[in-house]
Amino acid sequence: MFNQLLQTIQKRLYFLEVSGSHLFKKTRLFPLIAVLVVLLSACDTPEREEENRSTMSFVANSTDVEDLVGAPMVIAHRGANDRYNESTITAYKIAARDGVDALEIDLRMTADGRLIAMHDETIDRTTDGNGKAEAYTLEEIKEFETVEVFNNQTTVEVIPTLEEIIDTFRDTEHYYIETRLVDGQPVMEDYLVRLLDDYELISQGLVIIQSFSKQSLEKVYNLEPSIPLTLLYRKGKFNLEDAKSVPYPFIGIESTDVSLEVVNELHEVGKKVHVYFTNNDTQKAEQKRVKAFQVDGYFTDYIEYTKELLETEDS
């Protein structure tokens, strides 16, 4: 029970850490830590007594509560896409059941202005249709299905809207959402922020928005400054000096561009490093490599592997 409570509080604190002004205020965390101590004392068992006593001593006596929230984030890249069709509600349900810290959702906007979970510009790779997602209305998009083969079995599922995903999980999960420009313009951001506000996800600190587009992030910030933002850099295009200077708390870097020097310098200026992977054949080895650099988050395609990796002291 203690581990479940700690995991829940860690997830909440991680998102609260950069909410509001994006400045980490330790004083906001003291009430939550006190609640944790009370809950621990209420659920002691003879078997857990010694373990809980030492843990409570750490919580009560530690002067640096960042230690409590220092565990790297496990971010389900397009859901549990190693076991089910990517970016579908079922894939996200599996990821949620695995206990990830956030569900990563790529957005595309339909011709009639609705937001759907879709990574690629076209629907060719993941569905039984073809063409650009933005060329179809939502009603037309719903005529197609995602298609994938797992263990020699074909699985199909409809393309979900962002609303359908949020309706499924509400405030039980954290959402790590990627925006992109539409015809070169920041168009989807207005609809997105209104939607997140309607579901009260922003006020609860349950959202991070990421983008390769500074223009998109600036639009989101102007609409709602309290949303934590991540600037993504494309593979081979990472610029350390730029990353250190931008006003965003999270920096997203492709794994082969990550080094100890990069992570240390970003940490020195108060930024967290979230790593994504573009080669599934080398991803597990890359996750193991960057773990040694104390990165802060993994956009993983292998949730079970990542969780096991992070639970291992010497890997």
Mean pLDDT value across the chain: 86
Residue 9 pLDDT class (50, 70, 90 cuts): low
Whether CATH 3.20.20.190 fits 73-311: yes
Burial status of residue 255 (CB atoms within 10 A of its CB: 0-12, 13-18, 19 or more) = buried
Give this prediction's pTM: 0.82
Tell me which residue of 146, 152, 138, 148 sits closest to 109, measured CA to CA: 138
Q: pLDDT by residue (tens digit) across 266-305?
A: 999 999 999 999 999 999 999 999 999 999 999 999 999 9
Domain ranges of the chain: 2-67, 73-311
DSSP string, 207-255: EEEEES-HHHHHHHHHH-TTS-EEEE--TT---HHHHHHSS-SEEEEEG
Beta-bridge partner residues of 208: 176
pLDDT on residue 2: 52
Mean pLDDT of 144-162: 98
pLDDT of residue 28: 38
Assign residue 159 a region: left if phi > 0, alpha if psi is -120 to 50, beta otherwise? beta
At 90-138, the pLDDT tens digits run 999 999 999 999 999 999 999 999 999 999 999 999 999 999 999 999 9
